[in-house]
């Protein structure tokens, strides 16, 4: 409540003589005002601030709170929280053949906030909110062959190839029988989600030779170095779909 409820004050005295009844009425009126100040009074500025926080923090219906009709995100008490995710693979991923595609899989979901890996089909990423997402994927590609080999990486929307999403890389020859040629194949694009229930994103790859694969490496020593995942994919919400 931003206003003090008016209380009835005693009428103005018409005499200069002390009147016990008027004095007692004035005391009781002041008690009511003080009680309101201590219990129910909120300054207008504070009320406006609380109302604004309620709008931003999701006081309204829907996943987006006050922004539910215009933003495909969700809000916490500290502000807007937009969907994002980071997914890795710590496994080697081999080439199934030179005439078939391979699907990138993930076994280490580092961050999942509105974006998740399907627990059964671990090549599929689902997005809980419609909109546009910036996706970046990096693959640690190795070549065990003694010749330069081609590697291609592209995106798929719900099983269908994304037009013009493919990129070609040439993987250098191996240095020796135990030290292979390496590149990091990195592509980025915008994935548009219109149907969060049924749409999913996959990354596919092809190798010119079965000696091409995605490789992970254990942590190094002297100096101590982190392990190398075979795949790192990040995704972040950009904008609600218009």
Residue 226 lies in a domain: yes
Residue 107 sits in a domain whose CATH number is: 2.60.120.40
pLDDT tens, 183-195? Answer: 999 999 999 999 9
Residue 4, in any domain of the structure: no
In a domain, 126, yes or no: yes
Q: Report CA-CA distances (Å) from 113 to 87, 236, 237.
A: 11, 9, 10
Model pLDDT, residue 61: 35
Closest CA to 188 of 207, 170, 165: 165
Domain assignment present for 169:
yes
| Residue pair 185/204 in contact by the 8 Å Cβ criterion | no
What CA–CA distance (Å, rounded) separates 205 from 104?
Answer: 7
Is the model's pLDDT at 159 over the cut of 80?
A: yes
Residue 126: which domain range?
A: 82-239
Q: What is the mean pLDDT of residues 130-155?
A: 97
Of residues 49, 28, 142, 128, the one with CA closest to residue 81: 128
Q: Which helix (H) or strand (E) holds 20?
A: helix 20-39
Per-residue pLDDT of 15-67, as tens digits, reads 566 677 777 777 777 777 777 777 665 665 565 555 444 443 443 333 333 33
């Amino acid at each position: 409540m931003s206003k003090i409820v008016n209380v009835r004050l005693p009428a103005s005295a018409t005499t200069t003589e002390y009147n016990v009844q008027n004095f007692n009425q004035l005391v009781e009126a002041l008690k009511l005002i003080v009680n309101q100040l201590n219990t129910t009074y909120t300054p207008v500025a504070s009320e406006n601030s609380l109302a604004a926080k309620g709008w931003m923090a999701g006081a309204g219906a829907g996943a987006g709170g006050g922004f539910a009709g215009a933003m495909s995100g969700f809000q916490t008490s500290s502000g807007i929280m937009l969907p994002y995710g980071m997914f890795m693979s710590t496994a080697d991923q081999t080439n199934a053949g030179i005439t078939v595609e391979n699907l990138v899989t993930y076994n280490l979901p580092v961050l999942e906030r509105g974006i998740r890996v399907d627990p059964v089909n671990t090549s599929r990423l689902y997005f809980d909110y419609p909109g546009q997402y910036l996706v970046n994927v990096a693959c640690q590609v190795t070549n065990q062959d003694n010749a330069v080999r081609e590697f291609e990486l592209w995106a798929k929307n719900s099983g269908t190839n994304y037009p013009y999403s493919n990129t070609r890389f040439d993987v250098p020859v191996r240095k020796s029988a135990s030290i292979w040629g390496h590149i990091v194949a990195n592509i980025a694009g915008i994935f548009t989600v219109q149907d969060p229930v049924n749409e999913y994103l996959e990354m596919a790859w092809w190798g010119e030779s079965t000696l091409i694969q995605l490789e992970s490496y254990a942590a190094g020593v002297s100096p101590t170095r982190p392990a190398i995942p075979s795949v790192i994919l990040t995704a972040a919400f950009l904008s609600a779909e218009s």
